[in-house]
Structure 1
Amino acid sequence: MKSQKSLILLSLITAISLMVIKFIAYFITHSNAVFTDALESIVNVIASSFAFYSIYLSSLPKDMNHPYGHGKVEFFSVFIEGALIFLAALFIIGKAIYNFFFPIELTNLLEGVGLVAFTALINFLLGRYLLVKSKKLNSLTLMADGKHLLTDALSTVGLVVGLLLVYFTGLIIIDIILSLILGVFILYQGYKLLRQSVGGLMDESDVQLVKDVVDVLQQHRKDPWIDIHNLRLQRYGANLHLDCHVTLPNYFDLNKVHEEVSEIDKLINEKVGLKTEFFIHADPCLPQCCHYCNVKNCPIRSSEKTIDMIWDVELVTRNLKHFEKEKSN
């Protein structure tokens, strides 16, 4: 968590510095497109400030009021960043439309191009670095900040190209059109962040993460794990909460059941790459399980094994034992 705080602080300091540079570029050029870029940099500063606080809050230990920890604050951080980007984009589009009817003369374009090109390079390098670190630290906040910086860098590259066209052609309308295009692009990026944050707050299933968990279970399954069903995931920042039902031989005593459940817990925590808290409900096997049960020398088997059940997302996430799912199909 200390690493995340240091990275967000670096992002915040960089955002403030680049914001100053972009506004200097705007004041010497009076370019509507440069103003667009400078305005978005204010969003960067506000978003990085909130992200820094959310990293601190998500690092707090569980308490009576937050039994699952504080990790979901990262979704709020992503929501705030997305909302600010969305609002900034609307303002950018509005100003571009205004300047279409009331254009402003542009000055010192080459100097302005040099300044904004420098900010694009810094944002690209920092954005890539944050995305790499977000994967290692499993941080949604770092991921959102990194994507935002890359989006900022990409839009700034388009801005540089457009300003050079204005310089060589003298057509001010290019600056306005460019600002409109960047505004729509930024609007879409804000929408995607908002969509992601709302999905997380509503406990929307992370399909890829569920698939990763199911693949690990399939690859390392043990014979006594007759079936696993009703598997559900919730993500809290860098932590994962997982609950499921596992069918075990009905003659296992409590100690053996606990041992098998602990094996599943250990397996997921070692292989998935996220700190995972498990709630596993153990079901006793039934005679209907025999035809897909892998247990060797079972003392209560009522029929021979006839099929191999391959665990996939659809099979494991349904709230049905495997034989019940066969009937439902």
Structure 2
Amino acid sequence: MNAAAAPGLTPRRLMLASVVVALLTIGLKTAAWHATGSVGLLSDALESLVNLAGATFGLWMVIVAARPADEGHPFGHDKAEYFSSGFEGILIIAAAGAIIWAALPRFWQPQPLAQLGWGLGLSLASSALNGWLAVVMLRASRRHRSAALEGDARHLLTDVWTSAGVVVGIALVAVTGWLWLDPLVAVLVALNIVREGARLTWRASQGLMDAAVEPEAQARVAAVLEDFRRRHGPAAQVRFDHVLTRRAGQRRFVSLHLHLPAGWSLGRAAALRGELEHALAQAVPGLRASIQLLPLDVEPLEASGPGAG
């Protein structure tokens, strides 16, 4: 399914679907662990519990982020999605610790595995379900610029890789008879998902600290400003500086100073600013521009930060 072509796949509906899928996979993987006794499949089931907790929290944060601005939050609630993404990352790391804790005793107390066919079949079915939903959510996260969707999608992909590693480990045990491979694979999978959890947590922290917009969006902003310099700069002496961008959840912002000749009328200056705002919004959909008009020879005392002019 192409999320970009399905406007009905809103972040809220997709997070709700993630909750439902998490419940289904918990049932499938718990049954797989119960049938085989594999600690690898137990680790897989434990991570699905984490998926459920993450998806539930993510759904809550998506609902909060969609709330309109109010008196206490005049700029909206968009950043709530970053809490979801960071929470997913922390849960992934916690799940890795639980997996290692469950796997270590099996190194000195190995146990035979049973009914591998049923166990592997159930695990593969749950992985296919998670993989399908993860792909749909990743595509939708780009369309909606949703940190919550991206975080949950990457968590689901981590779960898919976990299941794949567990299946490989069980298959190796069946072929070689080396029971220690089962806990070894579980530990290796846990160490791998720690990396994904740390990356999610880091990206969430950057969003909460007002990171700049994506390089592609920055390039489009720069192209619009360069076009204005070329068309208005030489004759009218128009110039820009203190161009700053930031992200807040699904929204993106740019602020800049537009320097104009002091003799311009307010109407002429406002018309040029409106033209620039429209061009920026056309180049970067959803971008909100804050443009301060200044005479050419004036620099505000509070201005700081990297310039682009």
Q: Same fold (TM over 0.5)?
A: yes
Partner of 1:232: 244
> 1:242 and 2:254 equivalent?
yes
| Partners of 1:46 and 1:151 in 2: CA distance | 15
Q: Could you give the per-residue CA deviations for residues 125-173 of structure 1, whole angstroms, max 9, x where no partner exists? A: 1111111111111211111111221222122122212211111111111
Q: Name the stretch that deviates more: 252-261 or 176-185.
A: 252-261
Partner of 1:183: 190
| Partners of 2:223 and 2:149 in 1: CA distance | 26
Q: State the Cα distance separating 1:98 from its structure 2 match.
A: 2.5
Q: Name the stretch that deviates more: 249-258 or 41-50.
A: 249-258
Contact residue 86 and residue 191 of structure 1 kept, 8 A: yes
Question: What letter is aligned with 1:115?
Answer: L
Partner of 2:105: 98
Structure 1 residue matching 2:155: 3-state secondary structure = helix
| Partners of 1:207 and 1:229 in 2: CA distance | 20
Structure 2 residue matching 1:221: 3-state secondary structure = helix
Q: 2:290 aligns with which of 279, 296, 311?
A: 279
Question: What letter is aligned with 2:232?
Answer: P
Structure 1 residue matching 2:287: 3-state secondary structure = strand
Counterparts in 2 of 1:124 and 1:219: CA distance versus 1, 3 Å = farther
> 1:258 and 2:265 equivalent?
no
Who wins on radius of gyration, i.e. which is larger?
1
Contact residue 81 and residue 249 of structure 2 kept, 8 A: yes
Contact residue 103 and residue 184 of structure 2 kept, 8 A: yes
> What does 1:110-129 correspond to in 2, within 5 Å?
110-129=117-136
Partner of 1:68: 75
Partner of 2:139: 132
Contact residue 224 and residue 283 of structure 2 kept, 8 A: no
> What does 1:25-44 correspond to in 2, within 5 Å?
25-44=32-51
Structure 2 residue matching 1:224: 3-state secondary structure = helix
| Partners of 2:219 and 2:181 in 1: CA distance | 47
> What does 1:1-329 correspond to in 2, within 5 Å?
3-208=10-215, 211-218=218-225, 220-221=227-228, 223-224=231-232, 226-273=238-285, 275-286=286-297, 318-319=306-307, 322=309
Question: What letter is aligned with 1:257?
Answer: A
| Partners of 2:62 and 2:219 in 1: CA distance | 26
Structure 1 residue matching 2:104: 3-state secondary structure = helix
Q: Name the stretch that deviates more: 55-64 or 2-11.
A: 2-11
Contact residue 224 and residue 248 of structure 1 kept, 8 A: no
Contact residue 15 and residue 55 of structure 2 kept, 8 A: yes
| Partners of 2:66 and 2:214 in 1: CA distance | 26
Question: What letter is aligned with 2:13?
Answer: S
Contact residue 212 and residue 272 of structure 1 kept, 8 A: no
Partner of 2:302: none
| Partners of 1:146 and 1:67 in 2: CA distance | 30
Q: Name the stretch that deviates more: 85-94 or 190-199.
A: 85-94
Q: State the Cα distance separating 1:94 from its structure 2 match.
A: 2.4
Question: What letter is aligned with 1:189?
Answer: E
Structure 2 residue matching 1:231: 3-state secondary structure = strand
| Partners of 2:254 and 2:225 in 1: CA distance | 16
Gaps of 5+ in 2: 1-7, 299-304
| Partners of 1:43 and 1:252 in 2: CA distance | 61
| Partners of 1:190 and 1:78 in 2: CA distance | 10
Structure 2 residue matching 1:129: 3-state secondary structure = helix
Contact residue 216 and residue 272 of structure 1 kept, 8 A: no
| Partners of 2:158 and 2:90 in 1: CA distance | 15
Counterparts in 2 of 1:84 and 1:137: CA distance versus 1, 3 Å = same
TM value normalised by structure 1: 0.82
- How much identity, in percent, do the aligned residues show? 28
Gaps of 5+ in 1: 288-316, 323-329
Contact residue 241 and residue 258 of structure 2 kept, 8 A: yes
| Partners of 1:162 and 1:21 in 2: CA distance | 18
Partner of 2:5: none
| Partners of 2:224 and 2:88 in 1: CA distance | 36
Q: Could you give the per-residue CA deviations for residues 88-146 of structure 1, whole angstroms, max 9, x where no partner exists? A: 11121222222212223321112111111111111111111111111111211111111
Partner of 1:308: none
| Partners of 1:206 and 1:173 in 2: CA distance | 47
Contact residue 55 and residue 74 of structure 1 kept, 8 A: yes
